[in-house]
Structure 1
Amino acid sequence: MRPPRALFVGAAALSLTLTACTTDLPDDEAGESPSPDEQDWFDQEEYEEQLAQRDIEPEGDPDEPWLQAIDPEYVDTSEFALEGADAEEPTVCFSNASVSNPWRVTGWITMQQQVEALQEEGEIGEFRVSDAADDDNQQISDIQAFVDSGDCAAIIISPSTTATLTPAVEEACESGAPVIVFDRGVETDCMVTFIHPIGGYAYGADAAEFLVDELEPGSRVLALRILPGVDVLEHRWAAAQRIFDDSELELIGHEFTEGDGAQIKDIVTQELQSGEVDGIWMDAGDGAVAGLEAFEDQGRPYPVIAGEDELSFLREWQENDITAIAPVYSNFQWRTPVLAATQILNGEEVPEEWVLPQEPIREDELDEYLDLNSDMPSLHYAKFGGEDLPGFPEAWQDR
């Protein structure tokens, strides 16, 4: 099988490895962040909109959720349509924040397989990729290199952080090439389309509401977060705070973990040594199993927990009959940006804000998703949406 024609740009990309690792948090960002209100992370209107969008039926084929859209408003892209020789296998450039956690690894594999399919169809030629390894300065440099090259028919960006990457995204927009932002947002609307699942508020609310429903009043809940400064993560926590504040649960604190399993286990162990932990809320669940191991080591009953759709957690949930939910930040979104690029370069309308469906996995769906992904490795994400792509299942198994 021919691999996608991908040219990696920058030193960080040369060391890119498709294995699970933790998100690196710069030393100067460690520790507790100011509240969402102080950072202007919370927006009441957006919060209410996202919670309402959970109940809206998306437009499009449910068998292709990566092409569905919730309440889309379409924009004319005819100005970006390529003609003649320019339309023959155009170069598409992708600036990636990182592949520093299992969710991003799974998505990156899916994106590569989607690119391969589009290359076979002649919709995309060279696929140039830079990986910033979660370094804002590196990603700013990567985007500048794409702009300076003048070779990119379209530029896809998954930002490392929100505010810091905004000027770089705006500069990419000024280059004249259509810009597609996905996954994490920036503080500009200059891009042609911003692609994302419903969002962090919906994710955080799904998890917090489940804990409120399943736990008795007065139960003690520990919140585990990855890092500050990323909009989707800040929104998850902002939503959870408001739901917990209106509940009778006791929030015993929130800790930044850098997504590191050993750190997660250590934090939970310390909390268990000082008192009961009845529930765990996480803003990303790839370290959920490490947290559960702390309960196992001390012979304590499992907590009610909100993890994520990573298979290691789903399998632990099933095996031990844990009371749990798996909120989802739809991993299949990694297909959408390259499909959007081809649509834009063909002059087709796309949603200005492309909101994808985002449905958590609940207990009654657990067995189904584990059966569908029975041959996948533990660090794979159940809702990756790549079953119809070339390389399935081997590309995701051989990570």
Structure 2
Amino acid sequence: MRTTMPKAALAAAGAMLLTVAGCSTDGSEDAGTSAPGAQSPAADSAAPSPSKTAGDKWFGQATYDKENTQRTAKFSGDATKPYLQYLPGPMTDTTAYKTTGAKKVCFSNASISNPWRQTGWITMNQQLAALKTAGVLSSMETRDAKDDDNAQISDIDYFIKEGRCDAFVISPSSTAALTPAVERACATKKPVVVFDRGVNTTCATTFIHPVGGYAWGIDTATFLTSNLKSGDKVVALRILPGVDVLEHRWAAAKRIFAAKGIKATDHFTKGDPAEIKKIVSDELAKGDVQGVWMDAGDGAVAAVEAFEDAGKGYPVMTGEDEMSFLRKWDKTGLNGLAPVYSNFQWRTPLLALQKIFAGQQVPKEWVLPQTPITKAERATYLKANQGMPDGHYAKYGGEDLPGYPTVWQKRVMP
């Protein structure tokens, strides 16, 4: 998944009380999970233990260990509905919210400024349509902060002052800055669902997120090191500094690279394909590059094209489950892995409200599966997403929703 601004903090898993996920750019530590297949990290259930003396402010050993375990943990719930699965843990009693009749939701969204968020936004709106038809929700008033903390704080305060919200759904742009606003929403005594990115409070009715950033780093770096040898060079392409889940991905990966003797050099790209191609081309001009690691894969094709332009053999590479990478991976036959930051999570907040308004318990911290796509699974996901645009994410989980597949194919933002 790509985020387009340094302030944004993606929810990485970890205990809400420890602010594990969605830490802001203020240097908070800790985060989340995944699991691949053949030649992937899941094949080795115990990832290399990173150095405890590395002195990286973004690294937290306890959460690294937790997410490493969660990568291959057994999730509760129907595996055909991963957006409703969760890891066993404390539950929230919602009997006080039990009510009848269709309810209005107020959604404060960080942004729809990249393909991952756009795919999720489409899916969320189709889930809304289904719940409106079922008489659970009447409407969803949405305010888009366009990746601006101050704008999102104002949006939440607007909803509170308006007083017409039966529930709040919040995807924070960053952690520390949004915490007081989320607490003000909680003070209304209405249900509050936080998802994707976290905040520094446990007041939300439920906090929903995939396993997290360390898990991504473990999966990807373990895959690369299992296919490379000591002394090989890896170019690490990073979108932005200071975003917790992205920093956690790199904090985990670089330790595994170091433990295996891999020479990894990292560069920030802002997700710009032209910059990605330039960086890779410059590194190739210095000598051979055996691997490419990415903390988000929607610019992966540009990296592959740099090898093609230089007349070099393809690297061992990790991208993401965006369709452009899956298609390039399939076409080139390169040795790859597609890590996932489960896009289907955009359905879960509204389905959580369905349970909350029915007085059913929900997980206090709702940790969703986060499983990479391996070579063995690639053809299945390519077939399932045939006709979807390159910016679409394979694990969006909307196949049973109204409008499938046309709404996602046309990709018109609601």
Shared fold (TM-score, shorter chain, > 0.5) = yes
| Corresponding residue to 1:389 among 393, 398, 401 | 401
Matched-pair identity in %: 55
How far 1:80 sits from its partner (Å)?
Answer: 2.1
Q: 2:123 aligned with 1:106, yes or no?
A: no
**In 2, distance between residues paired with 1:113 and 1:146?**
23
Counterpart amino acid of residue 156 in structure 2:
I
**In 2, distance between residues paired with 1:249 and 1:324?**
17
Which residue is 2:4 aligned to? 23
**In 2, distance between residues paired with 1:125 and 1:34?**
40
How far 1:71 sits from its partner (Å)?
Answer: 2.1
Which residue is 2:183 aligned to? 170
Kept after mapping to 2: 8 A contact 1:98/1:134: yes
- Note closer, same or farther for the CA distance 1:21–1:61 as it changes in structure 2 (3 Å cut): closer
TM-score (norm 1): 0.88
Q: Deviations over 1:56-77 (max 9, x none)?
A: 1111111111001112321101
Q: Secondary structure at the match of 1:126?
A: strand
Question: 5 Å matches for 1:222-301?
Answer: 222-252=235-265, 254-301=266-313
Which residue is 1:194 aligned to? 207
**In 1, distance between residues paired with 2:360 and 2:263?**
51
Q: 2:69 aligned with 1:69, yes or no?
A: no
How far 1:299 sits from its partner (Å)?
Answer: 1.1
Kept after mapping to 2: 8 A contact 1:304/1:324: yes
**In 1, distance between residues paired with 2:199 and 2:59?**
15
Q: Secondary structure at the match of 2:137?
A: coil
Q: Secondary structure at the match of 1:130?
A: strand
Q: 2:53 aligned with 1:53, yes or no?
A: no
**In 1, distance between residues paired with 2:94 and 2:247?**
32
Q: 2:376 aligned with 1:364, yes or no?
A: yes
**In 1, distance between residues paired with 2:340 and 2:3?**
19
State the structure with bigger RCO (CA 8 A, min sep 6), 1 or 2. Answer: 2
**In 1, distance between residues paired with 2:55 and 2:124?**
36
How far 1:359 sits from its partner (Å)?
Answer: 0.7
**In 2, distance between residues paired with 1:55 and 1:311?**
25
Q: Secondary structure at the match of 1:329?
A: coil
**In 2, distance between residues paired with 1:129 and 1:209?**
40
How far 1:22 sits from its partner (Å)?
Answer: 7.4
Q: Deviations over 1:307-340 (max 9, x none)?
A: 0000100000010001000001111111000111
Which residue is 1:345 aligned to? 357
Moved over 6 A (4+): 32-39
Which residue is 1:150 aligned to? 163
**In 1, distance between residues paired with 2:193 and 2:55?**
29
Q: Which runs of 5+ in 2 are unaligned?
A: 8-24, 30-53
Question: 5 Å matches for 1:317-356?
Answer: 317-356=329-368
Q: 2:290 aligned with 1:309, yes or no?
A: no
Kept after mapping to 1: 8 A contact 2:2/2:116: no
Q: Secondary structure at the match of 1:286?
A: coil
Q: Which runs of 5+ in 1 are unaligned?
A: 1-19, 27-31
Q: Secondary structure at the match of 1:251?
A: strand
| Corresponding residue to 1:44 among 54, 61, 64 | 61
- Note closer, same or farther for the CA distance 1:142–1:39 as it changes in structure 2 (3 Å cut): farther
How far 1:39 sits from its partner (Å)?
Answer: 7.7
Counterpart amino acid of residue 89 in structure 1:
A
Kept after mapping to 1: 8 A contact 2:6/2:243: no
Q: Deviations over 1:336-376 (max 9, x none)?
A: 00111121122210000101111100111111111111111
**In 2, distance between residues paired with 1:247 and 1:34?**
27
RMSD: 2.0
